[in-house]
Amino acid sequence: MERTLIIVKPDGVERGLVSEVLGRFEKRGLKLVALKLMQIDRSLAEQHYAEHQGKGFYEDLVGYITSGPVVVSVFEGPSVIDAVRKTVGATKPAEAEPGTIRGDLGITIGRNLVHASDSIESSKKEVKLFFGDGGLISYGRSLDEWIVKE
């Protein structure tokens, strides 16, 4: 099973959209295995956005993700990264399909509500960055047989 990190960004928390955003992943049948409300400090933000360091938008990214509380979660499921990315929608909300989180709830790229890992490699790095070596729960659900057929 794959795992992916999802962050409901400060605009999502401020707008009261945490349950709406996370609920979309649960409704798809993905399993929540970690969840926390936190304030990201600059050091953690810099590590998280290290790949963008030196780009013109880097300071805006760091400044924004540290501007208010966020909800950080990990979801698990088959092809979870692709499923989550489809559910989230395009980075630019104006280009996101209706029915996606950003297509339905977002307006601008600077306030696009949610971060989701874009690959298995980045997911592993991001999950470890936010939850360390522990912090994830492994459990079975009786409904998995109705959601996942391998």
- Bigger pLDDT: 42 vs 143: 42
Residue 7's nearest CA partner among 28, 42, 29, 38 is 38
- Indicate the pLDDT class of residue 148, thresholds 50, 70 and 90: confident
Backbone angles phi, psi at 94, to 5 degrees: -65, -20
Average pLDDT over residues 87-101: 96
Distance of alpha carbon 115 from alpha carbon 95, whole angstroms: 16
Distance of alpha carbon 80 from alpha carbon 101, whole angstroms: 16
pLDDT at 149 over 80: no
Residues that are catalytic: 115
Beta pairing, strands 70-77 & 2-8: antiparallel
What pLDDT shows up at residue 150?
Answer: 67
The predicted model scores a pTM of: 0.94
What pLDDT shows up at residue 59?
Answer: 94
Distance of alpha carbon 67 from alpha carbon 10, whole angstroms: 7
List, in order of start, the domains of the chain with CATH numbers: 2-134 (3.30.70.141)
* pLDDT tens profile 122-145: 999 999 999 998 889 999 998 888
What pLDDT shows up at residue 88?
Answer: 97
